[in-house]
Structure 1
Amino acid sequence: MKNGFVVFTYTLLLASLVSACGQGKKSESSNSADSVASVEETAASTAPDLPPPSESSTHFSKVVGWKDGQLPKAPDGFVVTEFARDLDNPRRTYVLPNGDVLVVESQTERKGVVKKVVAAVSGQAKSGASGKSANRITLLRDANKDGKPEVRETFLEGLNQPFGVLVIGNTLYVANTDALLKFPYQTGQTRITAKGTSILALPAGGYNNHWTRNLLANADGSKIYISVGSGSNVGENGMENEVNRANILEINPDGTGERVFASGLRNPVGMDWAPGTQTLWTAVNERDELGDELVPDYITSVKEGGFYGWPYSYYGQHEDPRRKGERPDLVKKAMVPAVPVGSHTASLGLAFYDKTAFPEKYRNGAFVGQHGSWNRSSFAGYKVVFVPFQNGKPSGKPEDFLTGFIASDTDVFGRPVGLSVLPDGSLLVADDAGNRIWRVSAK
């Protein structure tokens, strides 16, 4: 899609779409760097060598789905099975205290003529689910632990683009795109009918697919962390429309005490604690339209008060040419992420392996779900990669773990995203475009 009227139309409509992006509700807590605590650790010489910006490409995948019996591929020594199918865009999984699995079914909603035309012209409409979000959470129970759930129940419905799920004691938290809700919960429940209580407003929607709001609690349940993606690619709608966005927020379990824990994280979806530490890690989906090799998505430890560059710079002090000279003070203190995981991979899922069923090399390491992106001339992502860790720190480069999602240079079978580790040590992979949950176990 390089020349002609189609390109012009797409560009014009995309610009209109960007300018019409939803604006989040402002609060006293802002994601501007002026509100972020001073950070002693700044950009360092550990940043990878990056090429200069280049021409941007567009290459949406077409989802063709899985045939019966067809499976993704794992390394030797592992078995891949189908844990669940016939779901409606299963974006996220969460393991309850008793081992039940919650599957969050929700998706991007393209509302309005402009968004629908852009999706059709660009090919985006065929790269994933379209239509109305299911706005549902389904419960799966594998009582006999044979890897095949016998119970499947609608656990909670009537939500608004849910994503994050969290249990603290007898309270279930659900992060809609626009609010954090809490519900009374008892272990073993298969359905919640009580009306949720909203305890925190969140900025709704966001650029492209940045509507997801993830949740994570600290060890004693005294704090909740909420990931909120940006409302734009690179702040093109004005930073006044990015309040409380591109952040990880911290609150108390009752919704009070909201503050910015870390900022400058364009779309920090996956969150988890490195085993044996009190260090929060996140997977970040970086910016678009700087060329095939820019900007690398990454996983990184998250420092309290840390600023990670968005939108003014990337990977430390690499200044974004579209924001050149605007905030040299922020560029100077932008922190370098820990591990690059490929440009335009749409790395959204993150789960540390804290069990012992997998071979030694995988223990305490990180699995990253790469949903696959559109802003590259050839496909990148569309797989799960593994990053080895030792003593709470990365000890090697990312390596492929679950592949086989790409069918050709135009088609894909599915798109992996959310990850969870089951009590038996197997790994669950949510494939939202394939409408399946895959289970990977060691032989």
Structure 2
Amino acid sequence: MKNTLTRFLLPSAAVVGSLALYALTTPDRVVPDADNAGLKLPTGFSALVAAETGGRARHLTVTPQGVVYVKLNRVKDGKGILVLRPSSAGKATVTGGFGGYGGTGMYSKDGYLYASSDEDVYRYKLDSKGEVTNPTQPEKIVTGLINRRQHESKSVVLDNNGNIYVNVGAFSNSCQERDRRPGSMGMPNCPVLDSAGGIWQFKANKLNQKYGDGTRYATGLRNVVGLDWNQQDNQLFVMQHGRDQLHTLFPDKYTEKESAQFPAECMYALNKGDNAGWPYIYYNQEISKKMMAPEYGGDGKKTVDDKYINPAAAYPAHMAPNGLLFYTGSMFPEKYKNGAFIAFHGSWNRAPEPQKGYFVVFQPFKNGKPSGNWEVFADNFAGSPEKAASGRADHRPCGLAQGPDGSLYVSDDVKGTIYRIVYNKK
């Protein structure tokens, strides 16, 4: 009888395995910080500081098992990628790291973790626990991407057909003969676009690819840090950093206020072969027109024909959109489903107007396209309105990721804080 009872009371190996996986993937109760981590959020939302990494945290990703991987802009203690594992009350603990290179890009999909330096893209295998199996021997997917110390970050995202998309930012503000020099005109047939200023497409499972092995998927994009794949319409969306210094470079054509107001930071929905128009144009969000750039004969009034694509949405100038995430979770209210969150890193060049940004906004979508006005979702990363206006922000939001429970993670590349935002269901 004892043996028979033991057989029925002791769980099988399969059950034990299932219980272990459940314990790993099912988070304990999330307890928000009393002050919501210092953030201002819509009614019903709360936040906590999930972790303090102490590094310049750029993009991040969360595996289905809840493991958080954070890419550091600069190597810290020999590590460029930090591993954060769930601890208690919704927090996470830095348990290690690997990847001795700085950079920005971080993305996980189909059992792999992808990370980028400013020149290369790597791939790591993930096991059933969401843990990297080859931390010291990653597969090198793309090598030798251009890095001229301006707009050098290489953000990455994957589609559903085995392709990886990499931003290669333009190593120039506006393709002038003499970069950022007052009155210098634009170079004819901007040569920067031959190797930068666009999005390149590569195979996600092919090793040691170079420029010639990839495809210039879209061009005319000055610099893209935030990008994501829109699952609703199966399309690549990107956030462009608009050009700087209209008044500084052409004071006879633009006032200081106009230079602070223009050009828009633009969201683009991209198809293969698209041209967004940099450096020949910029976008005026107040009149919804593409304007000829002063380096190429513009004067603040000349518009441009339909040779270049229109943005899907436009936002105030110089706010530096560093993160883009399409929300597919079920934790947040229905209005957020399939909409886009954008992390605006914050401006440096709006003087004499107040600096702006340092927040996460929500852009409603309908049927895969922007629909309705954007709204500030999470604010006060800067610490106070005065710190935001002066550009002396305590924190700057950079990367966005969705947890397996539908919570929203936000990284900060000033102090390395990792925030977690949740919705309090009634």
Scaled by the length of structure 2, the TM-score of the pair is 0.75
2:126 and 2:133 in contact (8 A); partners too? no
1:195 pairs with 2:176: no
The answer for the alignment partner of 2:373 in structure 1 is 397
The answer on 1:293 being equivalent to 2:261 is yes
Match of 1:338 among 300, 312, 332: 312
Indicate if the aligned counterparts of 1:164 and 1:215 stay in contact, CA closer than 8 A: yes
Residue in 2 that maps onto 1:264: 220
Q: Counterpart of 2:335 in 1: which secondary structure?
A: helix
**1:87 deviation in Å?**
2.4
Q: Which residue of 1 aligns with 2:54?
A: 87
Q: Does 1:348 align with 2:289?
A: no
Structure 1 segments (4+ residues) deviating >4 Å: 131-135, 168-171
CA contact (8 A) 1:163 1:213 kept: yes
Tell me how far 1:205 sits from its aligned partner.
Answer: 3.2
Inter-partner Cα distance in structure 2 for 1:431 and 1:154 = 19
The equivalent residue for 1:416 is: 397
Q: CA deviation at 1:305?
A: 0.7
User: Which of 133, 136, 142 matches 2:80?
Assistant: 136
Task: Tell me, yes or no, if structure 1 residue 249 matches structure 2 residue 214.
Answer: no
Contact 1:267 1:285 (8 Å CA) reproduced: yes
Offset of residue 133 of structure 1: 9.9
Q: Which is further off, 273-282 or 180-189?
A: 180-189
Query: Which one of the candidate residues 269, 273, 280 is aligned to 1:305?
Result: 273
Cα gap change, 1:331 to 1:322, in 2 (>3 Å): farther
Deviation at 1:423, TM superposition (A): 1.2
**Which of the numbers 365, 387, 394 marks the counterpart of 2:363?**
387
Moved more, 275-284 or 232-241: 232-241
1:341–1:347 Cα contact (<8 Å) kept: no
Q: Contact 1:88–1:134 at 8 Å: present in 2 too?
A: no
Structure possessing the higher radius of gyration over alpha carbons: 2
In structure 1, what is the equivalent of residue 16 of structure 2? none
1:211 corresponds in structure 2 to 152
Identity, in percent, stands at: 31
Q: Which residue of 2 aligns with 1:27?
A: none
Could you tell me whether the CA contact under 8 Å between 2:124 and 2:133 is conserved in 1?
A: no
Q: CA deviation at 1:96?
A: 2.2
1:67-86 matched pairs, under 5 angstroms = 71-86=38-53
Contact residue 347 and residue 356 of structure 2 kept, 8 A: yes
| 1:284 is the counterpart of 2:252 | no
**CA deviation profile, 1:79-108 (whole Å, cap 9, x unmatched):** 01101114201111112242211011114x
Aligned partner of 1:123 in structure 2 is none
Contact kept? 1:73, 1:80, Cα under 8 Å: no
Offset of residue 434 of structure 1: 3.3
Give the one of 63, 71, 91 matched to 1:148: 91
1:353 to 1:432, Cα distance in 2 relative to 1, 3 A: same
* Correspondence for 1:273: 229
1:363 aligns to 2:337 (yes or no): yes
Give distance in 1, aligned partners of 2:37 and 2:307: 48
In structure 1, the residue corresponding to 2:54 is in which secondary structure?
coil
* 1:191-220 deviation per Cα after TM superposition (whole angstroms, max 9, x unaligned): 744323433234343464x22111111124
Q: State the TM-score, normalizing by the size of structure 1.
A: 0.72
Q: State the shift of 1:350 in Å.
A: 0.3
Q: Tell me, what secondary structure is at the counterpart of 1:177?
A: coil
Task: State the alpha-carbon separation in 2 of the partners of residues 438 and 136 from structure 1.
Answer: 19
Distance in 2 of aligned mates of 1:156 and 1:424: 26
* d(CA) in 2 for partners of 1:380, 1:366: 20
2:146·2:196 contact (CA, 8 Å) conserved in 1?
no
Q: Shift of the alpha carbon at 1:379?
A: 1.0
Whole-angstrom CA distance in 2 between matches of 1:196 and 1:289? 41
- CA deviations 1:332-374 (Å, max 9, x no partner) are 5111101112101101110011112111221111100000011
- 1:441 aligns with 422
What is the distance in 1 between the residues matched to 2:109 and 2:404? 18
1:199 counterpart letter in structure 2: I
CA-CA distance at 1:190 after TM superposition: 5.4
Contact 1:155 1:191 in 2 (8 A): no
SS in 2 for 1:286: coil
Q: State the one-letter code of the partner of 2:413.
A: D
Aligned counterparts of 2:339 and 2:374: Cα–Cα separation in 1: 10
Residue 225 (structure 1) aligned with residue 192 (structure 2): no
User: In structure 1, what is the equivalent of residue 106 of structure 2?
Assistant: 165
Partners of 2:203 and 2:132 lie apart in 1 by 27
Query: Aligned equivalents of 1:93 and 1:231: distance in 2?
Result: 25
1:271 Cα deviation after fit: 1.5
Distance 1:337 1:133 in 2: 41
RMSD: 2.6
Q: Determine if contact 1:357/1:442 at 8 Å carries over to the other structure.
A: yes
Change (3 A) 1:91 1:166: closer
**Could you say which structure has the greater relative contact order, defined with CA pairs below 8 angstroms and 6 or more residues apart?**
1
**Could you tell me which amino acid in structure 2 is paired with residue 306 of structure 1?**
D
Structure 1 partner of 2:291: 318
Match of 2:42, as an amino acid?
P
The Cα shift of 1:232 comes to 0.9
Post-superposition shift, 1:425? 1.0
Structure 1 CA distance for aligned equivalents of residues 332 and 45 of structure 2: 9
Number of aligned residues: 345
For residue 381 of structure 1, what is the amino acid of its counterpart? G
Deviates more, 1:391-400 or 1:330-339: 330-339
Q: Which amino acid aligns with 1:324?
A: G
Q: Partners in 2 of 1:339 and 1:207 — Cα distance?
A: 29
- Displacement of 1:416 in angstroms is 0.7
